[in-house]
Every structure is written in C-alpha cells, then in structure tokens.
Amino acid sequence: MVSAATSNLRQAAWNAAASVVDPEIPVLTIADLGVLRDVTVHDGRVEVAITPTYSGCPAMNMIALEIELALARDGINGATIKTILSPAWTTDWMSDEGRRKLRDYGVAPPQAGGSRRALFGVEVVACPQCGSNETQVLSEFGSTSCKALWRCNACREPFDYFKCH
C-alpha cells in the first residue's frame, strides 16, 4: 500500500517534471510530447523516467537538467533522472493538446495512430497555415532532426512536419 505522503510526493514531482518545455519546440511540454514516461518514489527518493524522441536527441541532457531544476524549485532535491530507450518513443504518445499546440505554432503535427502510410511515402500532411492537403516534402531534414521540411502547394508556405516514429 502506498502512503499518502508517497502519493503526494509522486504527484508533486510529476507536476514539476510535466511543466518542463522541450528546448527545441518551446510550446510543448515533455508531457505533451510523451517524453515524460513515469515518476516513481522509493524510500522518499524520486526517480523520473524519460524517453527521447529518437536515440540521438541532443535535447535530452537539457531536458534532464531542466527536470532537476523544476523539481528543486518545488523542494524536491536529489532526484534521479533515468533515460528509458525501450520501448522506443512513438508519436502516438503525443497528447491531443500537444498536437494542437504544434499546429498553432506552425508545425504540422504527426497524425495520431501513425501507420504504414508514413513508411511508404503516401502520408497526407495538412498545411498548418491554410489546412490544405496539397503539400509536398522538400527535405526529410527540417529545423531539428525530428522534423521534415514541407511546402504547401496551395498557399506556397514552407512548414516543418513533426515526423512519425
């Protein structure tokens, strides 16, 4: 049985960690992205589990540091930040709110329930500016490694697309 104090500490630590924003996409929290996997408490010590959007994500060290700082601001010191690689992160872990925030920021969000369409190049990506489905990929490499560069054929605006994993 989990004590009330342990449960309260876990919730406080979760809330603090969940407030950390992604340094590459500052409109999203790590909770929005699904990068924040779990918070556990063992003998009064907090452990936060995070999963990178891809194994070489350069933002993970900054995210871990920002989690430690967010916890410390809430009086939770000495936490362990653990990186979990398996199961691998998937865009399916992104929240609906996170997808909306991406779209509002001008980045086309990945479709929920990514499928084989993304693997075989027949995915339809709606323009986050005008909503048109008449879009085309310009480069598989966008402003960060987790995004691709697309262009809308209707409004002619380029935009980032958050790649499906």
pTM over 0.85, yes/no: no
pLDDT at residue 11 tops 90:
yes
What are 61-92's pLDDT values in tens digits?
999 999 999 999 999 999 999 999 999 998 89
The confidence score (pLDDT) of residue 12 equals 97
**Domain residue spans in the chain?**
4-89, 92-162
Query: Position 151: which residue type?
Result: R
Query: How many Cβ atoms are within 10 Å of 138's Cβ, its own excluded?
Result: 14
The residues with which 135 forms a beta bridge, in sequence order, are: 152
Are the CB atoms for 161 and 145 separated by under 8 Å?
no
- For domain 4-89, give the fold: GMP Synthetase; Chain A, domain 3 (3.30.300)
Per the listing, tokens 């933002």 go with 59
The confidence score (pLDDT) of residue 103 equals 92
Going from the C-alpha of 122 to that of each of 111, 118, 142, the distances in angstroms are 13, 6, 19
The set of residues, in sequence order, having a beta carbon less than 8 Å from that of 2 and lying 6+ positions away, is none
More confident residue, 76 or 124: 76
The set of residues, in sequence order, having a beta carbon less than 8 Å from that of 86 and lying 6+ positions away, is none
